[in-house]
Structure 1
Amino acid sequence: MSTVVTCGTGTASQRQPTEHVYYSSTKSLCKTCKQAVDAKIQFSGGAVYFDKFCRDHGHQRVLVASSVEWYLDALSFIAPHTPPRGEIHAVRSGCPFDCGPCASHQQKVYMPVVPITSACNLDCPICYTVNKNEGAHQLSEREFAAILGHLRAQNDELDIINFTGGEPTMHPELPKLLRMASEAGIRRLTVSTNGLKLRSEAYVRELAAVDARIVLSLDTFDPEVDQRMLGANTVRAKLEALELLEKHDVTTTLLPAIAAGLNDKDLGKLFDLMMRKPNIVSLELHTLTFTGQGGAGFDRTARITTPDLHRLLEEHTGGAIAARDFVPSPLAHPHCYSICYLLALDGGGVVPFARFMGREKLFELLGDSLYIQPREPVEEALRTAMDELWADPDRLPESEALLRTLKRLLREMFPPGKPLPMAQRQKIAERATKAIYIHSHMDEESFDVARVMKCSIGVPEVDGSNIPTCSYNVLYRENDARFADPDMLERMGRTEPHPLLAPAPAPPANRRSLPILKVPS
């Protein structure tokens, strides 16, 4: 307890000790006006909070992690950054108001996310972006060709691109855009979709023909929860889509947005579904974010953080997967991704990579791509793991099965004297492993410029600019007339553009309007 003298009165008062520990500070945003504000990073009750003050909208506090231990552990993983190439914007207003990237940005883009349409056939209460069906924007082939040209110039190698929207399957030329990306040398073509159009076998066959990878937004198996989160009952439609994707052997990722008290109970079932289906290679868990046309007004009690998902997975698997089996991505801020790779053992069962090769080696293998690539460093790491298991077989109870599986996998991926093409090696690797990616998106309440500055997921434009995805979703998209429906903005209380962001040009006239569709239950 300390003595404080109040200015102007000379009166002494006793200042009570705080219930929190001050750790550090960062720059964040006011949840109401989205102006930059200082954020104190505080530890309290074993959790991490941002404590902020806006002179116009007062004091604000938000949970950013339910575990101080995880928060600090993630920061112990340090990796060098690779600065972006190409035109760099000058810093005028300060992060995050000069994105494109600006001179403060630390990391190049490793996965471009291209919104090819503003149209969407759902109006989800949890939607973290802004969509527009009336006069919908559709990216043209010429515009996409320009984006690809800039991406090639800015990257020596680009192994992945993500197509999004709106709902990307509502773009009439999606298969053609996928072929253009493939012809540009990009191997992994991912489509983030709600899956409603994938009930058409002809359409699934068309996507399979261009080797598209589907990232399916499957949030729950409970129709009532589905209605509350998505505003429709989509469960049956998505399960039908999954059957067709399996039939045509389309590589698939399940992507649920997890909300506390709603679909967190589905996490175990989603994990089991991934483990059962050979074409489902990964589970990408997004913590719910409270921004955009739906999310900004969603119940804040649904906020969940990365350590909560670690705990749920550990409980469901009986400890077969634990928090220490996850590492951050070396290509992003340590609090953005939490990643676990699992090796499927011959004869059944899985073992996390971190247990047989160590967390540091797993972190190292993620250093050249967001997803592990079966290149020579992987071969070396697996052979080293085998040597260590031979030397100390009692280190893991699964050692014998691990050795058999690793020996077979190395023989198939790296046959002596017969190097396989990368795509073939990738296919073998993905059928022998499963991956769990926890991606903690930010909203205006949890926004942290330290994380944005090292973001490696960007939204590219035809002029060569590239905006980090969280900055894009929180700030830039709603100021872009191509994507922002005025009615949606009014619903969000965003009737005026942000004073520090110049609005993007309005779209050409006579764009075709696309309605929101009703999903049959």
Structure 2
Amino acid sequence: MYPPRDLPYTTQSICPECFLSNDEVNVINAELYEDDGKVMYKKTCEKHGDFVDVYWGDAAMFKEASRWWFKSVGLDNPRTETVKGCPEDCGQCPEHKSHTALALLDVTNRCNLRCPICFAVAAEGGTIYEPTPEQVFDMMKNLRENEPVPAPALQFAGGEPTVSKHLPQYIKWAKGLGFKHVQIASNGIRIGNSKKYFQELREAGLSTVYMQFDGVTPEPYITARGNDLLPIKKQAIQNARELGMESIVLVPTVVRGVNDDQVGGIIEYAVENSDVIRCVNFQPVSITGRIDHASRQEMRITIPDVIHLIDEQTGGKIPADVWYPVPAMMPVGRALGLMKGAPELELSTHFACGMSTFIWINEDGRYEPITNLMDVDKFIEILVDISNLYAKKKRAASKRAKAKLAGSIRHIKRKGILKDLLSAFLNRGDYDSLAKFMRRVIMIGMMHFQDPYNLDLERVQHCDVNYAVPDGRIVPFCTMNTIHRSRIEKKFAQPVDEWRGKHKPTQVEEDSITKPYTGA
């Protein structure tokens, strides 16, 4: 476990101007410090001067989150060597400190929308990045060769993955290669327009739709996406319901002044549709391109800012003090792995990358945070103790571990509700027994992807959301989208006409280039 963080301290970043002007990765020191209750981020480039930004909007929450940061391990088989240093050697390099929890694979940069806030900058530039089916298969296989833990979950992304005619086949391949969880990051247009196509993806093995969902009124979509997409989003959710698809994740990109007034409404909508919606994962906007300080501050919204807005807009039903950083869940994987005698996934991302909580939905539709049901702090501490029993090869560790879990009942405030949760650990040591419990639970998550202005290389080195790319590398999410994406796409992209000649596009594929969706 890492010691809690005291402010100020120094990390490393890059000069955004050097990179955005000349594609030069100029690594510079950055200081995190507290000012007016916020965590600020200051870095100085000899050429371009000072850059100051808000890192986290609540310094007290930052310090509390840092308590739950656990050490893990990187890959036993990194794909690159340490030559230039972070972030140039991404792939993962030997310096990386986490293994892949969620793998992403861009199947195309084509998209049937033209969103101004897209971090993938899809379908621009007159060239198409679209790995061949053979390359896609090799990338998936590469991810499953990760050691000590093969990548367990895969998300097909883009662009918009549903505009690739090969997507159903890719999903089948992924399941055949052993990915337990296969999802798509989608705007929902095609699965909203065609229930038949949605069913085809389901039959191929699709686990989850990670669906862009920016609000419960038309205005955020018109501003951020260029069209009122709310009706097609709702239709996609209805199609999921009719097809028995019970795993939709709503993904709002939160932009100050655009939809930050709707975070509570989005959660209420998820609760109303909890038969199919399993999670809401808010993403504070990542700023792409060159932008001046004043404009940046108008747009910038951080994880704690959104958490406080949720507190306010839900009338205190999801208070700001019930959130935990992602690595707080790492002891779950560690304990399961040690109890089963084989490595399991450990969520060991940096504590500042994301926060989450769970809400329990009562029979009458009211909801409350899971902290009302159990003492989460104590439960995590028990899992840490169990990990230590096994790691230190204590005698009769299995029996003692189960005794500790049985003893944890005293920390559960409503024992009947949580019997399935305990059963998952006491009876089988896996997640199967959670199904019944999870049907009454919605996860509320928060992930803030970095941009050149707030890039923190310490966060990068602990990233466990990684992209597979055609040259065999496995690249951390935030350096992919700030640094490596343009280079990779330049290396592997081809002119549109050349792609057409080789690919023989379907009408859906051609429309993604020439006729983006308008809702008309």
Q: Same fold (TM over 0.5)?
A: yes
Correspondence 1:28 to 2:13: yes
Find the aligned partners of 1:366 and 1:473 in 2 and give their Cα distance: 34
Taking the TM superposition and a 5 Å limit, the aligned residue runs for 1:40-439 are 40-132=31-123, 134-155=126-147, 156-199=149-192, 200-209=194-203, 210-250=205-245, 251-277=247-273, 278-291=275-288, 300-330=297-327, 331-346=348-363, 348-355=365-372, 356-359=374-377, 361-362=379-380, 384-389=407-412, 399=413, 402-407=414-419, 425=433, 427-439=435-447
- 1:515 aligns with 514
Task: Tell me which of 452, 459, 463 is aligned to 1:455.
Answer: 463
Find the aligned partners of 1:352 and 1:79 in 2 and give their Cα distance: 24
Find the aligned partners of 1:459 and 1:294 in 2 and give their Cα distance: 26
Return the offset for 1:86. Answer: 2.0
Q: Using a 3 Å threshold, how does the CA distance of structure 1 residues 472 and 329 change in structure 2: closer, same or farther?
A: same
Return the offset for 1:383. Answer: 5.3
Find the aligned partners of 2:317 and 2:400 in 1 and give their Cα distance: 26
2:128–2:493 Cα contact (<8 Å) kept? no
Return the offset for 1:159. Answer: 2.7
Q: Using a 3 Å threshold, how does the CA distance of structure 1 residues 106 and 252 change in structure 2: closer, same or farther?
A: same
**Residue deviations 1:358-399 (CA, integer Å, cap 9, x gap):** 2353588799xxxxxxxx99998985554444xxxxxxxxx4
Q: Which stretch has the larger CA shift, 282-291 or 150-159? A: 150-159
Q: Using a 3 Å threshold, how does the CA distance of structure 1 residues 415 and 26 change in structure 2: closer, same or farther?
A: closer
> RMSD over aligned Cα, in angstroms?
3.2
Find the aligned partners of 1:118 and 1:379 in 2 and give their Cα distance: 49
Return the offset for 1:407. Answer: 3.7
Find the aligned partners of 1:216 and 1:56 in 2 and give their Cα distance: 41
Return the offset for 1:135. Answer: 4.4
Return the offset for 1:346. Answer: 4.5
Find the aligned partners of 1:260 and 1:69 in 2 and give their Cα distance: 22
Normalising by structure 2, report the TM-score: 0.80
Aligned-partner SS, 2:8: strand
> Of the two, which has the highest radius of gyration?
1
- 1:471 aligns with 479
Q: Using a 3 Å threshold, how does the CA distance of structure 1 residues 321 and 192 change in structure 2: closer, same or farther?
A: same
1:458–1:466 Cα contact (<8 Å) kept? yes
Find the aligned partners of 1:223 and 1:297 in 2 and give their Cα distance: 27
Aligned-partner SS, 1:428: helix
Return the offset for 1:516. Answer: 4.6
Unaligned regions of 5+ residues in structure 1, if any? 1-20, 368-375, 390-398, 483-503
Aligned-partner SS, 1:510: helix
**Residue deviations 1:460-500 (CA, integer Å, cap 9, x gap):** 12443111010000001112235xxxxxxxxxxxxxxxxxx
Q: Using a 3 Å threshold, how does the CA distance of structure 1 residues 142 and 427 change in structure 2: closer, same or farther?
A: farther
Task: Tell me which of 439, 454, 477 is aligned to 1:446.
Answer: 454
Normalising by structure 1, report the TM-score: 0.80
Return the offset for 1:161. Answer: 0.9
Return the offset for 1:217. Answer: 0.2
Return the offset for 1:225. Answer: 2.6
Return the offset for 1:190. Answer: 1.1
Aligned letter for 2:249?
T
**Residue deviations 1:437-468 (CA, integer Å, cap 9, x gap):** 10011111110001001001111124431110
Aligned-partner SS, 2:234: helix
Return the offset for 1:425. Answer: 4.0
Return the offset for 1:295. Answer: 12
2:34–2:59 Cα contact (<8 Å) kept? yes
1:345–1:405 Cα contact (<8 Å) kept? no
1:310–1:323 Cα contact (<8 Å) kept? yes
Find the aligned partners of 1:86 and 1:297 in 2 and give their Cα distance: 44
2:209–2:248 Cα contact (<8 Å) kept? yes
Aligned letter for 2:250?
L
Return the offset for 1:219. Answer: 0.5
Aligned letter for 1:206?
E
Q: How many residues align?
A: 457
Return the offset for 1:300. Answer: 4.3
Aligned-partner SS, 1:264: coil
1:443–1:474 Cα contact (<8 Å) kept? yes
Give the helix-richer structure, 1 or 2. 2
Q: Using a 3 Å threshold, how does the CA distance of structure 1 residues 100 and 296 change in structure 2: closer, same or farther?
A: farther
Find the aligned partners of 2:93 and 2:425 in 1 and give their Cα distance: 42
